[in-house]
Structure formats: structure tokens, C-alpha cells
């Protein structure tokens, strides 16, 4: 399965991704983690990305698209992947579409984790990451609304979006995610061409 996970900062994508990737048995591609590693290792991309991350802005599309392409080309992604935090702009979504189309790989679906902003602000206050301080958090929300929310319509129009209520216990939210995945699987099965040799 190839699944995209979209949600505002603090929605619980990280926690749910950990469970989801065990459940799906696919690699987890978190662009935030890839970037934080790049910053720690002082790679060219890390040096370019750091300033944007510290200010709560998005790292420019060409850097992200290159890093994700390299990761998705690795052998373990043949079975699928869970994309967490990518795509975050329409440009990234279009780049992903052409990557997948060029290889004849379908996208199973997009999970949107929905949590209202008051709850998110409370959650982020307890997390202690350097980009979680209030001014940066506000910027990250604004970036989400302006750059990433338009993707929801993009995937909705393609019939790929499942909105998940992200309020509740980790177990409750995970159950909702599993039902959405069942929906993705049913849709994929219905879209598969029938094998004439197997018909009566």
C-alpha cells in the first residue's frame, strides 16, 4: 500500500505512523525526520533546510522532492510506503503523481488527521521540540493552512481522501484509520481489471 498521511502540526501523525507502519508492513518516509537527520549530519540539503525549519516555513520543493525521490527509489519501498509529512504543497503532490505514474504505481489513498487548533496548541506546548515554541508554532499552522490544506481538495477531487477524526485515545484514532484503509483496499480491488481466465 502507498498511503499519504496529512495533518497539522501536533495532530498525532508521528504516533499513529508508528502503529500504522507496523500494521501495513511498509517503510515510513517522514520528510521531517529525513530533514532533521540532514541538519544533524550537516549535509548540503541539511544546511539549506535548517533556516526554513527553524522559522516554521517549508523547505523549498526541489530539495524535498529530490530527497523523497532518493528514498522512494530504495529497494524496501517496492512493497509500498507510508508518506508522512509529504507532500505538503501542490507542487510536491504533482511531482509525486508524475513519479508514481512514470513507474505505473498507484496511490492507495490519503489520510487526513483532523484535530482542532486549540487542542493542537496544548499538545505542542508539551512536546519540547525547537520548532515548537509559540511564534514558530503559529507560523507552522499558517503554513499548513496556506500551503498544505489546498492538497485536501486536490486528493478529494481524485476520490483518494479519507478524513479521520484525530480526537480520542490512540487506540480509538487507530481504529478509525484501519477502517479508512479497508476502504482504500476495497476501492483498489474494485478498480483492478477482472481476469478473464478466472470468469465462469
**181 touches ligand AMP (CB under 6 A):** no
Stretch of 39-47, 55-63, 96-104, 157-165 lying at the interface with ligand AMP (CB under 6 A): 55-63
Site for ligand AMP in 135-154 (CB under 6 A): 140
Give the C-alpha distances (Å, rounded to integers) separating 189 from 21, 120, 145, 193, 194: 21, 36, 33, 9, 9
Signed CA dihedral, 131, 21, 42, 63: sign only:
negative
What number of other Cβ atoms are within 10 A of residue 35's Cβ? Answer: 23
Indicate the residue among 7 and 109 with the shorter CB distance to ligand AMP.
7
User: Binding pattern to ligand AMP, positions 87-106, x when CB under 6 A?
Assistant: -x---x--------------
Residue 7 in contact with residue 13, Cβ under 8 Å? Answer: yes
Indicate the residue among 31 and 108 with the shorter CB distance to ligand AMP.
31
Task: Select the residue interacting with ligand AMP from 1, 20, 64, 95 (CB under 6 A).
Answer: 64
Task: Select the residue interacting with ligand AMP from 16, 17, 31, 108 (CB under 6 A).
Answer: 31
What number of other Cβ atoms are within 10 A of residue 41's Cβ? Answer: 10
Amino acid at each position: 500500500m502507498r498511503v499519504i498521511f496529512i495533518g497539522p502540526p501536533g495532530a498525532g501523525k508521528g504516533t499513529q505512523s508508528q502503529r500504522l507502519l507496523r500494521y501495513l508492513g511498509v517503510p515510513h518516509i517522514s520528510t521531517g525526520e529525513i530533514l532533521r537527520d540532514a541538519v544533524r549530519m550537516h549535509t548540503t540539503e541539511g544546511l539549506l533546510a535548517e533556516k526554513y525549519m527553524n522559522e516554521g516555513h517549508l523547505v523549498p520543493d526541489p530539495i524535498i522532492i529530490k530527497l523523497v525521490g532518493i528514498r522512494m527509489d530504495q529497494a524496501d519501498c517496492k512493497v509500498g510506503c507510508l508518506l508522512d509529512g509529504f507532500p505538503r504543497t501542490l507542487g510536491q503532490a504533482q511531482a509525486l503523481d508524475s513519479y508514481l505514474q512514470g513507474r505505473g504505481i498507484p496511490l492507495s489513498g490519503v489520510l487526513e488527521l483532523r484535530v482542532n487548533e486549540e487542542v493542537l496548541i496544548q499538545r505542542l506546548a508539551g512536546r519540547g521540540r525547537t520548532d515548537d515554541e509559540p511564534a514558530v508554532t503559529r507560523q507552522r499552522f499558517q503554513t499548513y493552512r496556506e500551503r498544505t490544506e489546498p492538497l485536501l481538495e486536490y486528493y478529494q477531487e481524485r476520490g483518494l481522501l479519507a478524513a479521520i477524526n484525530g480526537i480520542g485515545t490512540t487506540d480509538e484514532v487507530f481504529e478509525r484509520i484501519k477502517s479508512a484503509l479497508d476502504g482504500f483496499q476495497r476501492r483498489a480491488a474494485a478498480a483492478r481489471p477482472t481476469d478473464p481466465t478466472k470468469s465462469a
